[in-house]
Chain A
Amino acid sequence: MPQDLTLILLLSFPLLGFAINGIFGKQLPKMVIGSIATVAVFASFLLATSLFSRLDGTTIVNLFNVLDFENLQINASFQIDALSIWMTLIITGVGSLIHLFSIGYMSHDEGFYKFFTYLNLFIFSMLILVLGSNYFVLFFGWEGVGMCSYLLISFHYNDAQKGIANSLAGRKAFIMNRIGDVGLLVALFMIIGQFNTLEYTKIGHLIESNKALTGGAMFFITLSLFIAATGKSAQIPLFTWLPDAMAGPTPVSALIHAATMVTAGIYLTVRSNFLFELAPFTQNIILYTGLATTLFAAFMALRQNDIKKVLAYSTVSQLGLMFVALGFGAYTVALFHVTTHAFFKALLFLGSGSVIHGMHEEQDIRKMGGLAKLMPITHFTFLIGTMAISGIPFLSGFFSKDEIMAQALHHNTFAYIVLVIAVTMTAVYMFRLYFLTFHGEFRGGDQLKSKVHESGPSMTLPLIILAILSIFGGLLNLPGLFFKNSAHWFDHFLSAGTFGLNHIHPVHLDFATSIQLMIFASIVALSVLIWAYLNYVKKGNIAKDDKDLNGWERLSAAKLFVDELYNVLIVNPILAISDFTGKIIDIKLLRNGVYALADGVLNSANISRKWQSGFLSSYLFWMVFGLIIFVAYYILKISVWH
């Protein structure tokens, strides 16, 4: 099967699923709906693997021409190269697992068919995003996934008490993404202004051909691109929507807000690496934004008690980590972490989903505990996920994180220190979460305890697969000290197959330094593990109530008051201005001004009508007066004349 046909099929399967479920979903039984959606995604996964196996260089597939002006051509065309296909693999692979999971998870929901319709639509938009061969198509997907995420976050809109809150969370996400989109829009305009094209490869060649163009223009372009990235990938300052987005069903959080959509920002940056390479200053901005995000998010996660909130903040923090890598120009490293993160974060979210499902929609870890015995598979997989993310040696997270640390150590010691702190915090809150959830006494009350159950196979199977991936994901990109010849496979794979990256190679530390690094990291992680075990299991500490939190804890629990800050600084002023313009300027000033003018003119009739007194003699008098005026005019005119 030729590549272009494969690609078209790959794109059309999710669309097909979307169409079928959207139109006939009401009539179909749930089993059919679920399997249609899952099969659709899985089919594209298989097609993606076939493309992956036949991958050579960059292939462009042009579908049709959207707009055609003499100085600007815009095509709906797609690009097959290592980067796009790798992203496709992640999206469809993890995606199909999550679809499978959702069949069980959503089984009691009346919006079942709608859920899968949206999910397929999302997969489709996401594929458009990563497969597009130019920024315009990418923008299509970019906004499309935003829309889907809105729909899915506010999915439970008719929930009795949380309904409006859910849809407001969706709105918040949409608006914040829109802010990012404006950044992307501006970037696109400037790119068109600079290069008169939006095709990645063309732009890349143009840049290659004349190295001259750098500096200001590039800085602004990349900056706007990065603003867009902060919107989608929940970086400071636009990260507050992601925790709220947990209002959506848990599979959604797993798919959109952990594995795929939020990594679009990283994808965008990697895709435009040739631009960023010309704008070192932007890279610094990225670096420090990433650092700040990863640090603060990790801190906020420390004292969250909602199982999903913890994971959400950890996602923000991990994304920050990736941006740090991007800041160092280590694109493949960032993508490596994207991959492993997709595995273990999806695993964690699904695990939490399984927990929530078993706990009958209870999300507060203060009500949990001792679930290890009640849901063993969930417990075991969750443990793997936790260890992976907190960098326990030889699990996937360990390697990917270690690469980033290595970059930091090589370029910028300060960054390294910050990262160490952040990573430590990650381990802390993750183990806190794990132990509080699965060990100790069950705190949810007996009648709930009796109802807690392990989830069915359709939910546990994806957990197991993801757990395996989280364990062995690191093998993709083993550092040099393991068997030399095929080390850093992932780096080479991407660099070889992606435009621009073949010029840029992440540094690989020498043997001694990297082994020291790994040992240090392992020590940190393991010590945290032990400390957490002693603290939460042996001592049996449990999460405190909000009232008896001490200073820093309260700060962490209150998320550093960022939302409140935004409300005071941005939201309320805008609302006030809106009120003012709407009520004062528009109504009072303009509209009533018009009325006043009209009335003024028309009411002058009351004066003018007095002239008509009704007395004949006055009429005659005025006629004579008129004559006198005429004569006066005559005299005046003559005097002017001469």
Chain B
Amino acid sequence: MQANMSIGTSLDFFLFVAIALFAIGAIGAMTRKNMIVLLMCIELMLNAVNLMLVTFSTYYGNGDAQIFVFFTMVVAAAEATVGLSIIIMAYRNLKSIDIDMYNQLKN
């Protein structure tokens, strides 16, 4: 695995950005109450990973990571559709998209 020196040292910056995005997404997912926002946060996490993958792929100079990114996007899109439809159904029942309203299921 020979390293491509073109972005050599700046690899870390990309990684930091990616990890930061991922962390933001995660924290947002934990703290925010609005389902839509939650969905966005998770998308953010996925995209952070995408960024990371792209970085690595350029670092290693092989492309399959970039192909993986496409897959991830597709999956994200699929998740988004399903997620939105689920949210809508949920809204139909409780007339609310505040996640804290949904706590009938507990011990």
Q: A residues within 8 Å of B by Cβ? A: 609-610, 612-617, 620-621, 624
Contacts and interface: CB of A to CB of B under 8 A. Distances in A.
Contacts of B107: 609-610, 612, 614
Given A609-B107, A624-B30, 18 more contacts: A610-B107, A612-B106, A613-B103, A613-B106, A614-B105, A615-B99, A615-B100, A616-B99, A616-B102, A616-B103, A617-B30, A617-B32, A617-B33, A620-B26, A620-B29, A620-B30, A621-B30, A624-B26
A613 B103 CA distance: 8
A609 B99 CA distance: 21
A612 B102 CA distance: 13
Contacts of A620: 26, 29-30
Interface of B: 26, 29-33, 99-100, 102-107
Contacts of B30: 617, 620-621, 624
Nearest to A616: B99
A617 B105 contact: no
B30 to A, nearest CB: 5
Q: Which 3 A-B pairs have the closest CB atoms?
A: A614-B106, A614-B103, A609-B107
A614 B102 CA distance: 8
Contacts of A617: 30-33, 99-100
Majority secondary structure, B binding face: loop
B75 to A, nearest CB: 19
A616 B90 CA distance: 14
A616 B100 CA distance: 7
A612 B106 CA distance: 6
A621 B103 CA distance: 15
A620 B29 CA distance: 7
A28 to B, nearest CB: 79
Nearest to B26: A624
20 contacts: A610-B107, A612-B107, A613-B103, A613-B106, A614-B103, A614-B104, A614-B106, A614-B107, A615-B100, A615-B103, A616-B99, A616-B100, A617-B31, A617-B99, A620-B26, A620-B29, A620-B30, A621-B30, A624-B26, A624-B30
B34 to A, nearest CB: 11
Contacts of B100: 615-617
A271 to B, nearest CB: 80
A612 B107 CA distance: 6
Contacts of B102: 616
Contacts of A614: 103-107
A311 to B, nearest CB: 82
A616 B99 CA distance: 7
Nearest to A618: B30
Nearest to A614: B106
Nearest to B100: A615
A569 to B, nearest CB: 62
A69 to B, nearest CB: 66
Nearest to A612: B107
Contacts of A610: 107
Nearest to B103: A614
A346 B2 CA distance: 121
A616 B102 CA distance: 8
Contacts of A616: 99-100, 102-103
A615 B26 CA distance: 16
Nearest to A608: B107
A615 B100 CA distance: 6
A545 to B, nearest CB: 82
A615 B38 CA distance: 14
Q: Chain B CB within 10 Å — which of A615, A617, A624 has the most?
A: A617
A621 B99 CA distance: 14
A614 to B, nearest CB: 3
Contacts of B33: 617
A624 B42 CA distance: 13
A356 B50 CA distance: 117
Q: Chain A CB within 10 Å — which of B100, B103, B105, B107 has the most?
A: B107
Contacts of B106: 612-614
B19 to A, nearest CB: 13
Nearest to B38: A616
Contacts of A624: 26, 30
B77 to A, nearest CB: 22
A614 B105 CA distance: 6
A621 B107 CA distance: 18
A614 B104 CA distance: 7
Contacts of A621: 30
Nearest to B32: A617
A617 B29 CA distance: 7
Nearest to A615: B103
A621 B106 CA distance: 16
Nearest to A619: B30
B2 to A, nearest CB: 28
A624 B27 CA distance: 9
Contacts of B99: 615-617
A624 B100 CA distance: 18
A612 B104 CA distance: 12
A22 to B, nearest CB: 71
A83 B104 CA distance: 96
A617 B101 CA distance: 11
